[in-house]
């Protein structure tokens, strides 16, 4: 029996999903749904479900849009953020959430990622970051660690990987965070913060791909891969209580950067008012 949450927020008639057993993507999709539900129920926010638009690109991650019972658009490879920019700019009252993957948003769509961050467009981007191109069968992506193997890196990848959250922060994103499939509660809270944040937010959620990345690199099955997250990714309170030696090799699960800067569609509305006032005064 599907849970109430799934009944309410997933399109049951389009399940089961296409993801492999052990894939982390379903967990992230559920995190997004819970985050939305909690914001709908939050009297301070009262998020209107009908105003939520889920935008995705192409790849394993991007199938999530079709399973989620919201306004949803499954776009072209790499262009989710650009489509989302059009939707948000056209109708700023919409809550636009982009579900994308490491290849989709930081390789073919890297340009859109950095420019949406630079503009501080009011989008919430959730990356399903599994270090691999899953849909096409296991090719290395911009987040595959150097030396790791993939079908297009049979001798190990030479590429230096991106840290997507750092990339977005460097480009001007005003909220960036890192989540993981293992750290469900923390990740839900980070997505909620991202949605509530006025401006461009990105939550880089570490997924697991046992089928391709795990198998190619002898990382074990889903249990072992989740154990790696449990042991090497550390939630905020614990992370900041650790000594520098303890932090070595560990990844923070939590907010990475948070700053204030005017949101793009707000600024454009002001520009329109200014131009129209000048015209009326003439």
Partner 1 sequence: MSMAKKAVLMQGNEACVEGAIAAGMRFYAGYPITPSTEIAEQCALRLPQVGGKFIQMEDELASMAAVLGASAAGIKAMTATSGPGFSLKQENIGYGCMAEIPCVIVDVQRSGPSTGLPTSPSQGDYMQARWGTHGDHPVIALSPSSVLETYTLVIRAFNLSEKYRTPVIFLMDEIVGHMREGVTLPDPSDLIVNKRKASFHDGAYKRCYYVPEGQYVPAMKPFGAGERYNITGLAHDISGFPTNNNDQAGALYTRLMEKIDRNVDDIVRVQETMLDDADTAIVCFGGTARAVMSAVEEARAQGMKVGMFRPITVWPFPEGHLRARLPGLKRILVVEHNYGQMFLEVQRVVAGQTPVEFLGRLDGTVIPPADILEKLRRMEG
What residue ranges bind partner 1 (CB under 8 A)? 11, 14, 50-51, 53, 55, 65-66, 69-76, 78-79, 82-91, 93-94, 111-112, 114-115, 268, 271-272, 275-276, 279
Q: What's the min distance (Å) between Cβ of 59 and partner 1?
A: 13
- β-pairing, 175-180 with 251-258? antiparallel
Beta-bridged to residue 201, according to DSSP, are 124, 175
What secondary structure does DSSP assign to 200-234, as a single string? -EEEEEE---IIIIIHHTT--SHHHHHHHHHHHEE
Could you give the CA distance from residue 76 to residue 224 in angstroms, rounded to a whole number? 33
Q: Which is nearer to partner 1, 57 or 210 (CB)?
A: 57
Give me the helix-helix angle, 25-41 and 184-196, nearest 10°.
50
Q: Would you call 190 helix, strand, or coil by DSSP?
A: helix
Q: Which is nearer to partner 1, 63 or 216 (CB)?
A: 63
Q: Which is nearer to partner 1, 101 or 179 (CB)?
A: 101
CA 227 centroid distance within chain: 21
Q: Which is nearer to partner 1, 37 or 76 (CB)?
A: 76
Q: What's the min distance (Å) between Cβ of 140 and partner 1?
A: 23
> How far from 33 is each of 4, 73, 260, CA to CA, in Å?
12, 16, 26
Is the torsion defined by CA of 204, 210, 214, 220 positive or negative? positive
The candidate with the shortest Cα–Cα distance to 110, out of 157, 171, 65, 62, is: 171
Residues 18/231/235/5 CA torsion (nearest 10 deg)? 30
Q: What's the min distance (Å) between Cβ of 89 and partner 1?
A: 5
Q: Which is nearer to partner 1, 146 or 271 (CB)?
A: 271
Beta-bridged to residue 253, according to DSSP, are 235
Q: Which is nearer to partner 1, 169 or 225 (CB)?
A: 169
Q: What's the min distance (Å) between Cβ of 184 and partner 1?
A: 25
Q: What's the min distance (Å) between Cβ of 33 and partner 1?
A: 13
Which tokens in the block code for residue 141? Answer: 């992506």
Q: What's the min distance (Å) between Cβ of 135 and partner 1?
A: 12
Q: Which is nearer to partner 1, 52 or 190 (CB)?
A: 52
149 neighbors 159 (Cβ within 8 angstroms): no
Q: Which is nearer to partner 1, 65 or 226 (CB)?
A: 65
Q: What's the min distance (Å) between Cβ of 70 and partner 1?
A: 5
Q: What's the min distance (Å) between Cβ of 96 and partner 1?
A: 9
80 neighbors 116 (Cβ within 8 angstroms): no
């Amino acid at each position: 029996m599907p849970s109430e949450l799934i009944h309410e927020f997933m399109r049951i008639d389009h399940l089961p999903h296409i993801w492999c057993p052990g894939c982390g993507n379903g967990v992230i999709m559920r995190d997004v749904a819970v985050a939305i539900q909690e914001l709908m129920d939050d009297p301070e926010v009262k998020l209107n479900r009908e105003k939520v638009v889920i935008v995705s690109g192409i790849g394993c991650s991007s199938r999530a849009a079709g399973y989620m019972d919201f306004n949803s658009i499954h776009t072209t490879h790499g262009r989710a953020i650009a489509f989302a920019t059009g939707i948000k700019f056209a109708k700023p009252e919409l809550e636009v959430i982009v579900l994308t993957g490491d290849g989709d948003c930081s390789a073919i769509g890297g340009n859109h990622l950095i420019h949406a961050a630079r503009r501080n467009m009011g989008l919430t981007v959730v990356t399903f970051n599994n270090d691999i191109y899953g849909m096409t069968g296991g090719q290395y992506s911009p987040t595959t660690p150097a030396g790791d193997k993939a079908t297009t890196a049979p001798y190990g990848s030479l590429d230096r990987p991106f840290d997507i959250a750092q990339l977005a922060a460097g480009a001007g994103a005003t909220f960036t965070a890192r989540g993981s499939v293992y750290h469900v509660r923390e990740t839900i809270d980070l997505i909620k913060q991202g949605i509530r944040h006025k401006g461009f937010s990105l939550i880089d959620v570490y997924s697991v791909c046992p089928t391709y990345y795990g198998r190619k690199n002898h990382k074990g099955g889903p249990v072992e891969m989740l154990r790696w997250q449990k042991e090497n990714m550390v939630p905020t309170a614990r992370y900041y209580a650790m000594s520098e030696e303890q932090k070595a090799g560990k990844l923070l699960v939590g907010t990475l950067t948070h700053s204030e800067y005017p949101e793009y569609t707000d600024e454009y509305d002001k520009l329109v008012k200014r131009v129209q006032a000048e015209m009326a005064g003439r």
